[in-house]
């Protein structure tokens, strides 16, 4: 059977599975719709959190990104996992004890302020829309590359699926489809990785193969070979860093804290029944995430080694078939500058001009073909990429719907609406959000890639300090929290807008403040938030006694007498 028919079978089977799960787990109340009835088990919640967290970017782009960045790729690996430690230890158990539906709920109640609630709602909606547009685009790209339909058709099919189970099942439907999607995506990521690890190093475990000797009989370690080959071609050694140390530190911290502050991640901890389960489901989530995240750097190194040995300095006339296949999509481009018929792939330190341009997404998508794996593996990778994109999109759409129906409508404007009406508004909002995100997927505004830094920066500079201070200090009042959030958001947005939109030509280490890139500035925004909150709270009266009592209440698992 051809790659295309295998892909079709894999994708169709996985979609049928998601729809079946969605019908089985329909939502009947707002509790079902917002937090899956609040009775999800920790392991199931861990699986759903992991699927919701790992997006098209984690599945398709991250390994390729690391292959080109070498050691600096660790900012993503540590940044997108380390945040779960902060979540588990500092936020999740207390938010579970608080026990309402959303992040703006907590901010609004703890700081007894509609202003605080509305600031939080705006951040939540902005962060989620930024993200979801990228996911829909990912769905379209996978469809167009593997099934041969246009990106637009792909986005519309993806919208249809998400619309179906998000509107019908809410958080309950999303939780159980995410479990299925995790299984599909992890299987799709590990199978090619294991094959390639065996092929290159003879070790079936990619995490170990990564540090093994090559099986070509040379007895040389894979990473040493990569360092050597890269340097010969004028690249930096693979295990060396290129970015400034302070910048790496700040980017890693911003991604960690941003992860802990992202509303679609936090809301998952409201779905378990007890405080201890909120703690342990963060552990399960990170375990399931780490399974992919520790494999990704190995895949990156394997792909890099394959690229340098099979393509570099080879005659263009006898490149392998995958090279020509992907050249047709425009993701590989070869320009024979010196006309010698050989592919010169060289780095910035080489005298020979580079002739090869490679899109980073290829590293995962073309992996099965590079390693000569059977056609069904390629089909599986397509289904995995779709699972990653759809599961993340669904979680984000739900945050948007909850923010509008619950935080804005019910808690800010009309507290008298019935549960039935609230549920209807939530469903209509999901439907509306699916359509808007689909539109953004088909007509992506040029800034989608750029604003992802902003999404993390904003989460780091707004929610994380506000929630943390709300739990760990009784003295923090609404004046402090609101001015801290506004200071953090304003600073972070201005810094990123300055370098990304106003003066993109200045966006280099020479012009950055202290060498901190826009990706890492969220950390400074967070520190600023802490500082402003502290000073303002110190100058203004303490919060009312019932709020201090509220803080004592959320600090212990059992209801106080």
Partner 1 sequence: MTRLSKRGSTKPPGNVGYWKRNLVYLTILLSIWALVSFGFSILLVEPLNRIRWGGFKLGFWFAQQGAMYVFVVLIFVYVRLMNRLDRDYDVDERDDS
Positions that interact with partner 1 (CB under 8 A): 66, 71, 73-74, 77-78, 81-82, 84-85, 88-90, 93, 207, 210-213, 221-224, 239, 241, 245, 248-249, 252-253, 256, 274-276, 279-280, 282-283, 286-287, 290, 293-294, 297, 552, 555-561
In this structure, are residues 444 and 126 in contact, taking their beta carbons and an 8 Å threshold? no
Pick 89 or 535: Cβ nearer partner 1: 89
Pick 292 or 396: Cβ nearer partner 1: 292
Pick 78 or 331: Cβ nearer partner 1: 78
- Minimum distance between the CB of residue 71 and partner 1, rounded to whole angstroms? 6
Pick 122 or 249: Cβ nearer partner 1: 249
Pick 165 or 293: Cβ nearer partner 1: 293
- Minimum distance between the CB of residue 239 and partner 1, rounded to whole angstroms? 4
Q: What is the separation of C-alpha 129 from the centre of its chain, rounded to a whole number of angstroms? A: 13
Pick 214 or 373: Cβ nearer partner 1: 214
In this structure, are residues 289 and 77 in contact, taking their beta carbons and an 8 Å threshold? no
- Minimum distance between the CB of residue 67 and partner 1, rounded to whole angstroms? 12
- Minimum distance between the CB of residue 160 and partner 1, rounded to whole angstroms? 36
SS3 419: helix
CA distance 50 to 44: 10
Pick 163 or 284: Cβ nearer partner 1: 284
Pick 279 or 410: Cβ nearer partner 1: 279
Extract the tokens encoding 511: 């012009």
Paired sense of beta strands 332-334 and 356-358, if any = antiparallel
- Minimum distance between the CB of residue 152 and partner 1, rounded to whole angstroms? 38
CA distance 39 to 453: 34
The four Cα atoms 488, 494, 500, 504 give a dihedral, to 10 degrees, of: -140
3-state secondary structure 239-254: CCCCCCHHHHHHHHHH
3-state secondary structure 486-535: HHHHHHHHHHHHHHHHHCHHHCCCCCCHHHCCHHHHHHHHHHHHHHHHHH
- Minimum distance between the CB of residue 242 and partner 1, rounded to whole angstroms? 13
- Minimum distance between the CB of residue 162 and partner 1, rounded to whole angstroms? 30
Pick 213 or 313: Cβ nearer partner 1: 213
Pick 224 or 359: Cβ nearer partner 1: 224
Extract the tokens encoding 187: 């299987």
CA distance 130 to 438: 12
Distances in whole angstroms, Cα of residue 249 to Cα of each of 75, 90, 245: 8, 21, 6
DSSP per position, 316-360: GGG--HHHHHHHHTTSEEE--TT-SSB-----TT-SSPP-EEE-T
Q: What is the separation of C-alpha 259 from the centre of its chain, rounded to a whole number of angstroms? A: 8
- Minimum distance between the CB of residue 133 and partner 1, rounded to whole angstroms? 28
């Amino acid at each position: 059977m051809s790659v295309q028919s295998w892909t079709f079978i894999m994708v169709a089977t996985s979609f049928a599975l998601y729809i079946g799960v969605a019908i089985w787990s329909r939502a009947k109340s707002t509790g079902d719709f917002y937090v899956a009835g609040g009775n999800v088990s920790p392991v199931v919640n861990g699986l759903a959190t992991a699927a919701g967290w790992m997006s098209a970017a984690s599945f398709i782009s991250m390994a390729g990104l690391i292959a080109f960045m070498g050691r600096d790729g660790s900012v993503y690996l540590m940044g997108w996992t380390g945040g779960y430690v902060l979540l588990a230890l500092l936020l999740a158990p207390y938010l579970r004890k608080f026990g309402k539906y959303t992040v703006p709920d907590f901010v609004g109640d703890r700081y007894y302020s509609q202003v605080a609630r509305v600031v939080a709602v705006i951040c939540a909606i902005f962060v989620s829309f930024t993200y979801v547009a990228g996911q829909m685009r990912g769905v379209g790209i996978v469809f167009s590359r593997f099934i041969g339909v246009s990106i637009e058709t792909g986005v519309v099919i993806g919208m249809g699926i998400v619309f179906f189970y998000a509107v019908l099942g809410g958080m309950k439907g999303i939780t159980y489809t995410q479990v299925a999607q995790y299984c599909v995506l992890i299987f799709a990521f590990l199978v090619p990785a294991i094959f390639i690890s065996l092929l290159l190093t003879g070790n079936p475990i990619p995490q170990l193969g990564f540090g093994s000797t090559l099986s070509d009989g040379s007895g040389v370690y894979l990473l040493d070979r990569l360092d050597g080959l890269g340097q010969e071609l004028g690249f930096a050694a693979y295990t060396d860093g290129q970015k400034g140390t302070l910048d790496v530190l700040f980017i890693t911290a911003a991604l960690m804290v941003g992860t802990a502050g992202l509303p679609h991640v936090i809301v998952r901890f409201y779905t378990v029944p007890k405080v201890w389960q909120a703690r342990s489901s963060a552990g399960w989530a990170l375990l399931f995430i780490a399974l992919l995240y520790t494999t990704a750097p190995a895949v990156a190194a394997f792909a890099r080694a394959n690229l340098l040995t099979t393509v570099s300095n080879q005659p263009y006339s006898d490149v392998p078939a995958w090279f020509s296949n992907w050249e047709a999509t425009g993701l590989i481009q070869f320009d024979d500058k010196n006309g010698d018929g050989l592919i010169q792939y060289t780095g910035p330190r080489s005298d020979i001009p580079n002739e090869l341009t490679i899109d980073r997404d290829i590293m995962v998508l073309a992996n099965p073909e590079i390693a000569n794996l059977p056609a069904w593996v390629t089909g599986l990778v397509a289904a995995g990429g779709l699972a990653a994109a759809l599961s993340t999109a669904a979680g984000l759409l739900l945050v948007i719907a909850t923010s509008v129906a619950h935080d804005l409508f019910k808690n800010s404007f009309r507290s008298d609406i019935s549960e039935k009406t609230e549920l209807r508004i939530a469903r209509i909002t999901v439907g509306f959000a699916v359509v808007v995100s689909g539109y953004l997927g088909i007509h992506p505004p040029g800034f989608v890639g750029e604003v992802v830094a902003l999404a993390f920066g904003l989460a780091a500079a707004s929610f994380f300090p506000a929630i943390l201070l709300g739990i760990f200090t009784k003295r923090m009042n609404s004046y402090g929290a609101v001015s801290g959030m506004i200071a953090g958001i304003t600073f972070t947005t201005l810094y990123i807008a300055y370098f990304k939109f106003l003066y993109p030509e200045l966006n280099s280490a020479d012009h950055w403040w202290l060498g901190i890139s826009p990706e890492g500035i969220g950390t400074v925004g967070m520190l600023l938030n802490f500082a402003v909150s502290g000073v303002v709270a110190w100058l203004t009266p303490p919060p009312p006694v019932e709020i201090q009592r509220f803080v004592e209440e959320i600090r212990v698992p059992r209801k106080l007498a």
